[in-house]
Amino acid sequence: MTTKHKKKIYLFSYSYPYLSQGEDAFLKNEILRLSSRFDEIVIFPYIKTSEFVHPLPSNVSISNSLLKDFEEPKYKLSLLFRLALKNFQKIIRELFDAALTLKPSSLFHSIKYTLGSLKVLDWANKNIPKDVILYSYWKNHIATGLTFMNSENIIVSRAHGYDLYSERNPGNRIPYELETLSRLDKVFLISSASQVYLEKKYDGLKNKFSLSRLGVTSHLFTNQSTQKKLKEKLHIVSCSSLVSLKRVSLIHSTLLLAQKKINQPLLWTHIGGKKDDILIEKIKSYAESNLVFKHIAQISNDYIFNFYKENPIDAFISLSSSEGLPVSMMEAQSFGIPIIGTDVGGVSEIVNEDTGFLLDVGSETKGVELAIQSIVLGKFKSREERGRIKNYQLEHFNEKKNFNDFCNKIKNLS
């Protein structure tokens, strides 16, 4: 039996609990577990993406104080200047390192990151009491600003993708990374791959890094394949934003080629992104009778779950160039849906021969063709195969187990 740990947590999000496709799937379940283990949680978003606010447990509240500071158009430059002087050495060292990349984008990113961190520091100095645990959901300028404080607060952060992998940032570097990691009490990584990545990069800080996978709700319902005649459409689903690294256009081209090569009609449904996005319009312009494309714009997770319950799906596909460990894959897996995924980040920790098709980077076109061919021949159509996929999710990405373990790790720091 777990016991409530009498501590208050300040959780710093991007926009949650305001509606946002990026964080909703991540934080909704985690908040429920945290609220059951700690007395009080206050969420501080720094961007308001919607007027809609997710319902929160009674001991969880939202504060817009940090958000309002970031929205202030004429921030007190004199105050930022004084804070910069107090942190002069680390700031000059950071800007110098950024300039050494000889990429203007890297220096601009460093300056913007520095200003954001100083704003967080100013806000923190005025608003954070001594007896709260500070938890930044992203290892970004929020986490850095908090570590700039001279305080005894426990400060922890998760790290996911852009906030973890240097190559996803201008100049292939993350500002103040060593400084931030050194001063955080713990960095929670969402995959074994990301933990290995940081340990290789910062061997002397291994004790700072801890594996703490995310998780999703396990569902009783098991999605079934289309189980139609050979020439009827197989249903392939993808679910992501439309940013370039998600490579939705590559999904389109590989499915198009696979359909022609195998002579198998396909229905492809993409969930996510805006209705009128240029990429979506471009894909629609290439409409073919044997590759029907349907787009469902950004929606709630509950809608996605209902979609998985009501529509037979033969496979979930993701061909991202970079990943942490996708929650979208966990959600599909919780319904027994096999996954076609590129072997990047922590994807190999969720996709294997029992749960789907793991594709080598650079071989996506051939890989998708072979995966579709296997599905046509009956792979992952049986209830037993689908049941094994669900069991894998239950064992490795069970939100109850994973988030309770996370709570215990925070508790042991205090």
| C-beta of residue 341 within 8 angstroms of C-beta of residue 357 | yes
| C-beta of residue 225 within 8 angstroms of C-beta of residue 405 | no
Q: In angstroms, rounded to a whole number, what is the distance separating the alpha carbons of residues 122 and 87?
A: 12
Below-70 pLDDT ranges, the chain? 1-6, 21, 69-80, 227-231
Among 312, 308, 314, 321, smallest CA distance to 359 is for 321
- Reduced to 3 states (helix: H, G, I; strand: E, B; else coil), residue 264 is coil
Question: DSSP alpha helices (H): ranges in 42-189?
Answer: 65-71, 77-86, 88-100, 104-127, 141-147, 177-183
Distances (CA, A) of 251 to 2, 267, 273, 393: 44, 12, 15, 24
Q: In angstroms, rounded to a whole number, what is the distance separating the alpha carbons of residues 293 and 297?
A: 13
Could you tell me which residues come within 8 angstroms of residue 317 by beta carbon, excluding any fewer than 6 positions away? 236, 237, 238, 251, 255, 339, 340, 341, 368
Among 246, 254, 300, smallest CA distance to 277 is for 246
pTM over 0.85: yes
pLDDT in tens, 35-92: 999 999 999 998 988 888 889 999 999 999 998 766 665 556 666 677 777 888 899 9
- Residue 77 has what pLDDT? 63
Domains and CATH numbers, the chain: 5-215+398-413 (3.40.50.2000), 234-396 (3.40.50.2000)
Among 243, 116, 249, 100, smallest CA distance to 168 is for 243
Burial of 24 (C-beta count, 10 Å sphere; 0-12/13-18/19+) = buried
Could you tell me which residues come within 8 angstroms of residue 176 by beta carbon, excluding any fewer than 6 positions away? 90, 94, 113, 114, 117, 144
Tokens of 266: 């396909």
Q: In angstroms, rounded to a whole number, what is the distance separating the alpha carbons of residues 148 and 125?
A: 10
Strand arrangement of the beta sheet that strand 291-296 belongs to: 291-296, 266-271, 234-239, 315-318, 339-342, 356-359
Peptide bond before 17: cis, by omega within 30 degrees of 0? yes
Torsion over CA of 66, 68, 70 and 74, rounded to 10 degrees?
-140
CB atoms within 10 A of CB 114: 23
| C-beta of residue 10 within 8 angstroms of C-beta of residue 42 | yes
- Reduced to 3 states (helix: H, G, I; strand: E, B; else coil), residue 372 is helix
Angle between helices 21-37 and 399-413 (to 10 degrees): 60
Tokens of 138: 């992203």
Q: In angstroms, rounded to a whole number, what is the distance separating the alpha carbons of residues 338 and 354?
A: 9
- Residue 299 has what pLDDT? 79
